[in-house]
Structure 1
Amino acid sequence: MMKKYTVFYYTFSIFSILGLNTTALSQKKNKSAFAKGADVSWLPQMEATGYRFYDTDGNEKDCLQLLKERGMNTIRLRVFVNPSQDKASGHCSKEETVAMALRAQKAKMRIMIDFHYSDTWADPAKQAKPAAWANLSFDALQQKVYEHTFDVLTALKKAGVTPEWVQVGNEIPGGMLWPDGSTNNWTQLAQLLNKGYEATKAVNAKIKVIVHVDEGNNNEKFRWFFDKATEHLVKYDVIGLSYYPFWIKKDYSETIADLQKNLNDMASRYQKEVMVVEVGGVDEQVQNTKELLAATIKAVRAVPDNKGLGVLYWEPQGAKYWSGYGLSAWQPDGKPSPALDAFKE
Structure 2
Amino acid sequence: MKKVLWSSVFFLVLIFSCCTTNKAIPEPNENSFAKGADVGWLPQMEATGYQFYDADGTKKDCLQLLKDRGMNTIRLRVWVNPSDDKASGHCSKEETVAMAVRAQKMGMRIMIDFHYSDSWADPGKQNKPLAWKDHTFAELLNDVYAHTTDVLKALKEAGVTPEWVQVGNEIPGGMLWPEGSTNNFGQLAQLLNKGYEATKAIDSKIKVIVHLDEGNNSGKFRWFFDNAKANNVKYDVIGMSYYPYWIKSDYKATIADLANNLNDMAARYDKEVMIVEVGGVDTEEQNTYDMLVAVIKAVKAVPNNKGLGVLYWEPQGAKSWSHYELSAWRADGKPSMALDAFKN
Letter in 1 for 2:293: A
Deviation of 1:31 (Å): 1.2
**Distance in 1 separating the partners of 2:26 and 2:62:** 31
**Distance in 2 separating the partners of 1:89 and 1:197:** 26
State the match for 2:220 in structure 1. 221
**Distance in 1 separating the partners of 2:63 and 2:317:** 13
After superposition, the C-alpha distances for 1:213-232 in whole angstroms (9 at most, x for unaligned) are: 00000000000000000000
Answering whether residue 308 of structure 2 is matched by residue 309 of structure 1, we say yes
**With structure 1 as the length reference, what TM-score do the two structures score?**
0.93
Deviation of 1:25 (Å): 4.8
Matched residue SS, 2:245: helix
Matched residue SS, 1:242: strand
State the match for 2:208 in structure 1. 209
**Distance in 1 separating the partners of 2:218 and 2:135:** 35
After superposition, the C-alpha distances for 1:227-251 in whole angstroms (9 at most, x for unaligned) are: 0000000000000000001101100
**Distance in 1 separating the partners of 2:40 and 2:139:** 29
State the match for 1:241 in structure 2. 240
After superposition, the C-alpha distances for 1:139-164 in whole angstroms (9 at most, x for unaligned) are: 00100000000000000000000000
State the match for 1:291 in structure 2. 290
After superposition, the C-alpha distances for 1:261-284 in whole angstroms (9 at most, x for unaligned) are: 000000000000000000000000
Q: Which runs of 5+ in 1 are unaligned?
A: 1-17
**Distance in 2 separating the partners of 1:164 and 1:22:** 25
State the match for 1:44 in structure 2. 43
User: For 1:72-111, what aligned pairs fall within 5 Å after superposition?
Assistant: 72-111=71-110
After superposition, the C-alpha distances for 1:104-125 in whole angstroms (9 at most, x for unaligned) are: 0001000000000000000000
State the match for 1:320 in structure 2. 319
State the match for 2:147 in structure 1. 148
Matched residue SS, 1:78: strand
State the match for 2:124 in structure 1. 125
**Distance in 1 separating the partners of 2:247 and 2:158:** 40
State the match for 1:276 in structure 2. 275
**Distance in 2 separating the partners of 1:100 and 1:270:** 34
Deviation of 1:22 (Å): 6.4
Letter in 2 for 1:64: L
Matched residue SS, 1:267: helix
State the match for 1:258 in structure 2. 257
RMSD: 1.4
Compared CA separation, residues 200 and 236, structure 1 to 2 (3 A)? same
Letter in 2 for 1:245: P
Deviation of 1:26 (Å): 4.4
Letter in 2 for 1:136: H
Compared CA separation, residues 288 and 81, structure 1 to 2 (3 A)? same
Deviation of 1:32 (Å): 1.4
Give the 4+ runs in structure 1 shifted more than 2 A: 21-27
**Distance in 1 separating the partners of 2:163 and 2:247:** 31
State the match for 1:69 in structure 2. 68
Deviation of 1:30 (Å): 2.3
Letter in 2 for 1:276: I
State the match for 1:190 in structure 2. 189
State the match for 2:167 in structure 1. 168
Letter in 1 for 2:56: D
**Distance in 1 separating the partners of 2:238 and 2:23:** 29
Matched residue SS, 2:246: helix
**Distance in 2 separating the partners of 1:154 and 1:88:** 27
Deviation of 1:312 (Å): 0.1
After superposition, the C-alpha distances for 1:284-341 in whole angstroms (9 at most, x for unaligned) are: 0000000000000000000000000000000000000000000000000000000000
State the match for 2:138 in structure 1. 139
**Distance in 2 separating the partners of 1:30 and 1:310:** 10
After superposition, the C-alpha distances for 1:191-221 in whole angstroms (9 at most, x for unaligned) are: 0000000000010110000000000000000
**Distance in 2 separating the partners of 1:322 and 1:31:** 35
State the match for 1:4 in structure 2. none
**Distance in 1 separating the partners of 2:119 and 2:61:** 27
**With structure 2 as the length reference, what TM-score do the two structures score?**
0.93
Answering whether residue 55 of structure 2 is matched by residue 32 of structure 1, we say no
**Distance in 2 separating the partners of 1:185 and 1:30:** 38
Matched residue SS, 2:339: helix
Answering whether residue 207 of structure 2 is matched by residue 181 of structure 1, we say no
Q: Which runs of 5+ in 2 are unaligned?
A: 1-17
**Distance in 2 separating the partners of 1:23 and 1:126:** 50
**Distance in 2 separating the partners of 1:226 and 1:23:** 41
| Count of residues paired in the alignment | 326
Letter in 2 for 1:118: S
**Distance in 1 separating the partners of 2:134 and 2:183:** 19
